């Protein structure tokens, strides 16, 4: 999988703005505007793939699409070649499928121009795709439905004096007080253990965000300006700095893997295992089957017109290899920004967003609340617990929200069975003496940094 680098520049409405196409530039790939507690927050999303800007990357993909379809290398696409181009609708489906499915296939050039034109140039095809939303950062929003109920359940479980809020003392007992809720004994207090019979997060970013051509200037005196750089390689790194004197907005943003790589790998595997009818001494070819044959098998007849560059009615190994390579480039350019609003106390305490409160997160609960200005003296002030907005960038739809920062130490990864970033004494498979040696601060948990120091 290619590495994906993202830079988020937070600077002012709930819309998405897309810049004009062009080469490498400092312009954002998309601009998202949120309104949090009546405060507009402007987010410029800047994406780099393989060292190229998002827009430059997609211009290269369009070039490769044209090269694949332009069989006679004339520089134009004719009626005889246009079937080799995926439709804009098929390109938009890649976000979910991992490849361009055989839908709304282009039959003639008129499917692009809506007139009697018989050929089109590279620029014509790019305009067709761009006009139909191809080569853009996708963005959608949703609302977390259970945040208030989760906050109530968490407080009720710890509120020993029935004050409807929590004190520093009550939170200090959370690790032991909540053990009875850990019904699956995984050393996590999950959202579903706090709130049984509910699904968490209970929403997805399925509502498309509005697209606007109007950008808001960074210098607007009513807006905050923030820069947040995210790098996704083997681990996720993030750093935020304020570009104005205004308070930091109540949001978090991070990257997760998404599902597209698995979908594409599965397609490649299925094609490689497809049954074919060529004689054993001839190269493998997929061909349109006789309708009288068993139609239940996966013969990939739909693939033939999409890859048959020499128009012989077959999909040769070379044609399939070229098509799969192109599909991989298209897949790598898919980026979804999921904006989930309405987060509350649970989302604030669940620092890695794995849908469970770990031992360390419970121990740090008061310091998290205090640093978020949600306390008065030694008491939680729920009035200051404003709803949080979560922004998750992923290649394809995210399968989970968990922030991924896996340890490079194999034994640590294998022992951390609940993936909370720590190895507890129960998870540790060696002796108590060995555990104590690794647990340098003697807090009953081996952190990844403690494991790394011992590894060296």
Of residues 213 and 110, more confidence is placed in: 110
- Size of the chain in residues: 456
Alpha-carbon span 58 to 20, nearest angstrom:
13
Question: Using CB atoms within 10 A of its CB, is residue 433 exposed (0-12), middle (13-18) or buried (19+)?
Answer: exposed
What residues contact residue 175 under an 8 Å CB cut-off, 6+ apart? 359, 362, 363
288-302, 303-317, 400-414, 426-440: which has the minimum mean pLDDT?
288-302
Does 227 score more than 70 pLDDT? no
Backbone angles phi, psi at 252, to 5 degrees: -135, 150
pLDDT digits (tens, 9 = 90+) for 235-284: 333 444 444 434 445 788 888 888 888 888 888 888 887 754 444 444 44
What is the residue whose two structure tokens read 């989760």? 150
pLDDT the model gives residue 31: 74
Tell me, what's the pLDDT at 140? Answer: 87
| Listed residue (424, 408, 401, 415) closest to 350, CA to CA | 401
CA-to-CA distance for 33 and 217, rounded, in angstroms?
Answer: 12
More confident residue, 16 or 50: 50
Over residues 58-67, the pLDDT tens digits come to 999 999 999 9
Contact (Cβ atoms closer than 8 angstroms) between residue 378 and residue 384: no
pLDDT, tens digit (0-9, with 9 covering 90-100), for 413-447: 999 999 999 999 999 999 999 999 999 999 999 99
pLDDT range class, residue 192, cuts 50, 70, 90: very high
Per-residue pLDDT averaged across 32-48, rounded? Answer: 73
pLDDT per residue as tens digits for the range 357-395: 999 999 999 999 999 999 999 999 998 887 888 988 888
Strands 210-211, 207-208: parallel, antiparallel or unpaired by DSSP?
Answer: unpaired
pLDDT digits (tens, 9 = 90+) for 103-148: 999 998 988 887 667 788 999 999 999 999 899 888 888 999 999 9
Banded pLDDT at 298 (limits 50, 70, 90): low
Compare 327 and 283 and report the one with higher pLDDT: 327
Over residues 195-219, mean pLDDT? 67
Model pLDDT for residues 70-83, shown as the tens digit of each residue: 999 999 999 999 99
Which pLDDT band holds residue 211 (cuts at 50, 70, 90)?
Answer: very low
Taking alpha carbons only, the member of 148, 110, 155, 112 closest to residue 132 is 112
Coil, strand or helix: which one is 170? Answer: helix
**pLDDT for residue 449 is more than 80:** yes
CA distances from 113 to 110, 117, 293, 335, 379 (A): 5, 7, 39, 28, 65
**DSSP state, 360?**
H
pLDDT, tens digit, 9 for 90 and up, residues 88-105: 999 999 998 899 999 999
Kind and range of the H or E run holding 172 = helix 168-172
CB 211 within 8 A of CB 142: no
pLDDT on residue 226: 52
pLDDT band at 224 (very low <50, low <70, confident <90, very high): low
303: left (phi over 0), alpha (psi -120 to 50) or beta: alpha
Report residue 27's pLDDT band, with 50, 70 and 90 as the boundaries. Answer: low
Tell me which residue of 149, 140, 259 sits closest to 197, measured CA to CA.
149
For 258-285, the DSSP string reads -SHHHHHHHHHHHHHT----S-TTS---
Helix (H) or strand (E) holding 78: strand 76-78
pLDDT band at 179 (very low <50, low <70, confident <90, very high): very high
């Amino acid at each position: 999988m290619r590495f994906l680098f993202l830079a988020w520049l937070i600077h002012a409405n709930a819309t998405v703005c897309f810049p004009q196409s062009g080469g490498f530039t400092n312009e954002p790939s998309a601009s998202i505007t949120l309104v949090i507690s009546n405060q507009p927050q402007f987010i410029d999303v800047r994406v780099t793939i393989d060292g190229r800007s998002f827009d430059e990357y997609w211009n290269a993909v369009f070039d490769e699409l044209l090269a694949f379809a332009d069989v006679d290398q004339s520089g134009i696409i004719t009626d005889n070649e246009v079937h080799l181009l995926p439709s804009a609708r098929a390109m938009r489906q890649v976000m979910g499928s991992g490849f361009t499915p055989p839908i709304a296939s282009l039959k003639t050039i008129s499917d692009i121009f809506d007139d009697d034109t018989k050929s089109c140039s590279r620029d014509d095809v790019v305009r067709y795709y761009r006009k139909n939303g191809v080569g853009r950062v996708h963005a959608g929003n949703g609302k977390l439905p259970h945040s208030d109920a989760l906050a109530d359940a968490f407080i009720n479980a710890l509120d020993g004096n029935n004050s409807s809020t929590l004190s520093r003392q009550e939170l200090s007992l959370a690790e032991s007080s909540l053990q009875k809720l850990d019904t699956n004994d995984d050393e996590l207090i999950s959202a579903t253990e706090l709130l049984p019979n509910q699904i968490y997060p209970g929403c997805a970013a399925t509502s498309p965000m509005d697209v606007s051509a109007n950008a808001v200037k960074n210098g607007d005196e009513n807006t905050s300006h923030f820069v947040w750089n995210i790098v996704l390689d083997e681990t996720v790194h993030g750093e935020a700095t304020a570009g104005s004197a205004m308070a930091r907005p109540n949001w978090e943003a991070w990257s997760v893997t998404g599902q597209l790589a698995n979908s594409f790998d599965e397609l490649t595997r299925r094609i490689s295992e497809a049954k074919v009818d060529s004689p054993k001494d001839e190269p493998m070819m997929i061909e349109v089957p006789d309708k009288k044959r068993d139609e239940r098998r996966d013969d990939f007849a739909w693939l033939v017109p999409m890859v048959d560059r020499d128009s012989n009615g077959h999909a040769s190994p070379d044609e399939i290899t070229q098509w799969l390579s192109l599909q991989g480039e298209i897949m790598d350019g898919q980026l979804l920004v999921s904006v989930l609003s309405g987060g509350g106390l649970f989302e604030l305490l669940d620092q890695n967003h794995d849908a469970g409160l770990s031992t360390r997160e419970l121990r740090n609960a008061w310091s998290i609340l205090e640093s978020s200005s949600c306390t008065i003296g030694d008491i939680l002030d729920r009035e200051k617990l404003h709803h949080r907005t979560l922004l998750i960038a992923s290649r394809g739809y995210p399968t989970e929200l968990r922030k991924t920062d896996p340890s490079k130490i194999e034994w640590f990864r294998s022992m951390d069975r609940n993936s909370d970033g720590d190895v507890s004494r129960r998870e540790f498979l060696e002796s108590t003496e060995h555990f104590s040696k690794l647990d340098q601060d003697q807090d009953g948990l081996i952190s990844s940094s403690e494991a790394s120091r011992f590894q060296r």
